[in-house]
Amino acid sequence: MTQQTSRICILGGGFGGLYTALRLSQLPWESTQKPEIVLVDQSDRFLFSPLLYELLTGELQTWEIAPPFEELLQGTGVRFYQGVVSGIDIDQKLVNVHEGPEIPYDRLVLALGGETPLDLVPGATSYAYPFRTISDVYRLEERLRFLEESDADKIRVAIIGAGYSGVELACKLADRLGERGRFRIVEIADQILRTSPEFNREAAKKALEARGVFIDLETKVESIEQNSISLEYKNQLDTIPVDLVIWTVGTRVAPVVKSLPLKENQRGQISTTSTLQVIDHPEIFALGDLADCHDIEGQQVPATAQAAFQQADYTAWNIWASLTNRPLLPFRYQQLGEMMALGIDNATLTGLGIKLDGPLASVARRIAYLYRLPTLDHQLKVGFNWLVRPIIETLSR
């Protein structure tokens, strides 16, 4: 009798999902054991989200940071299916795709990431712009162009949240809009970048100050209207005129994941063991934004691209080990440091004993991210373009 081929179904093509799929395709399967690997995502493109800001300043192009899955998975044997996951039956081991097939699985990887919660404040769903996906960037770009082409003397931008995304956006957009831009960051906490190393926080403060970005700390957003935003500071309510509100706060687990009968924390994230398996369901693995994971040392794993990238390696190995009767490896998270873009050709980074800011940090950040791009083929294409583009631009002047 021939043994039936196992099927691994990976839901979500972000850092966790795509890198798990690529790693699984590279592992040493015996020809009789090689499973079918299916990757499902609602978009046709992978998104290298840490470089999303560079699209708004024209420093990078879409193809560089959002290559199509079909291109990345060519020659890997991984099947890609574009569609929205509408349901998961963990008893029958079936995944339902909206207006698509039912996909049976032997191993399931939950890597659907998170969603931006816009319904926390009245008016946010209608008037605030999220910044998470490639379509968010296109919408924001359209709005920015409209404002840039208008007769308005000043373009007033409010950014909700002083975490990484809010700070990086403020610096990049301030460089793009120049003298016309009027920026304020609204933050409910008492400082910006609460979880950052001190060096990065100070570099960010300097960068924001140099660009004239106003920071409202300990301030709550009460409501958002079409052309204004209402803020509460020390029980005082103030309504300020704005042309654009960008929402960078919070992440929420997708409803299709939240509805699963699995153990979860208060935020709706799925609880996993240190081998990244879902508690009571060893055939299901969870990683990235939707997982509540503690590594072998007991440290809470942050919901960052860096963590998902590391988890993908372990997830792939442990799926392979579980299908080939080998021991599974407990996840060990390594904090490799933190990098942030602080405007055009400016960044800050702290990690592995290095502290850098300014143009040199910007180059180091680019190189580090080039190395992290999903395939060697894509790394070479992008790297070559980064080398050649400045030369072409210089010659065409």
Going by C-alpha positions, the residue among 342, 269, 344, 280 that lies closest to residue 308 is 269
Tell me, what's the pLDDT at 3?
Answer: 54
Give the integer Cα–Cα distance in Å for 292 and 15.
16
Tell me, what's the pLDDT at 2?
Answer: 43
Chunked mean pLDDT (size 10), the chain, 397 residues? 76 96 93 88 95 94 95 95 94 92 94 89 95 94 96 95 95 96 95 91 96 95 95 93 95 89 90 95 95 91 90 96 94 91 94 89 93 94 89 76
208 CA to centre of own chain: 23
Q: How far apart are the first and last CA of the chain?
A: 69
The yes/no answer on whether domain 124-247 falls in CATH 3.100.10.10 is: no
Q: Which helix (H) or strand (E) holds 125?
A: helix 124-127
Q: What global pTM score does this model have?
A: 0.91
Parse the chain into domains and list their residue ranges: 7-42+83-115+252-324, 124-247, 338-396
Residue 9, SS3 per DSSP: strand
Tell me, what's the pLDDT at 223?
Answer: 95
The yes/no answer on whether domain 7-42+83-115+252-324 falls in CATH 3.30.2130.10 is: no
Query: String of b and e for 28-46 (b: at least 16 CB within 10 Å)?
Result: ebeeeebbebbbbbeeebb
Cβ(56)–Cβ(172) under 8 Å?
Answer: yes
Give the integer Cα–Cα distance in Å for 251 and 126.
18
Distances (CA, A) of 164 to 50, 197, 229, 338, 391: 10, 12, 22, 10, 32
Only one residue has tokens 């290095």, namely: 354
Tell me, what's the pLDDT at 1?
Answer: 34
- Residue 314's φ and ψ, nearest 5 degrees, are -70, -40
7-42+83-115+252-324 and 124-247 agree in CATH topology: yes
Give the integer Cα–Cα distance in Å for 126 and 116.
14
CA 313, 66, 94, 259: dihedral to nearest 10 degrees? 90
